[in-house]
Amino acid sequence: MRPILLTIFLLFVGFIVSLFIRSGAWKSVTVTESDLGPYAMIYKEYSGPYHKILATIQEVETWAKTESLGCSQSFGEYLDDPNVVEHERLRSRGGCLVAQIPASLPSGFLSQIIPRRHYVVGEFSGSPALGPLKVYGKMTNYLEANRLKIAAPVIEIYNVKSETDVVTQYLFPVE
């Protein structure tokens, strides 16, 4: 009985260590301030838990690629504070950053240009799913320590280099 329990325990520990390594949980977050933009965006609106926006982003990415617009950077713009708004009612936008907005878009697709502005920028090369746990706390501490206020919705820009290599920039627009 004891060898079976030891084997189960070791498999469990191995699984946890593997998950930790593959997700990039051990990677650090860098925080800087920078003037960035303008950003030309094609997107769809999404309502619901933020962690379920991926299908919306992928729909816009697929369309942009079929139209030869490219989509090396996708994004999520998060309009509501999940600590205040019920998760099923959270509003966001997901899509692609493009060089130029095309003259016509499919039904349900929207566009906007976000002008150049000042941001506190967090950069993390681990899984974007870890952002709420690893990045947002560090960003909040930075904002408080420097007495900065968020002036507009947070934007996450996903730079997908390969299936296992994603660098996410967390843009907190500040006053």
Per the rule left: phi > 0, alpha: psi between -120 and 50, beta: everything else, 70 is left
Dist CA 41 CA 44 (whole Å)? 10
Diameter over CA atoms, the chain: 69
Query: Which domains, from first to last, does the chain contain?
Result: 26-173 (3.20.80.10)
Dist CA 75 CA 71 (whole Å)? 10
What is the value of pTM for the model shown?
Answer: 0.85
Nearest CA to 135 out of 147, 125, 144 is that of 125
Per-residue pLDDT of the chain (175 residues; tens, 9 = 90+): 777 765 665 555 555 545 455 555 556 889 999 999 999 999 999 999 999 999 999 999 999 999 998 887 999 999 999 989 999 999 999 999 999 999 999 999 999 999 999 999 999 988 777 777 888 899 999 999 999 999 999 999 999 777 777 889 999 999 8
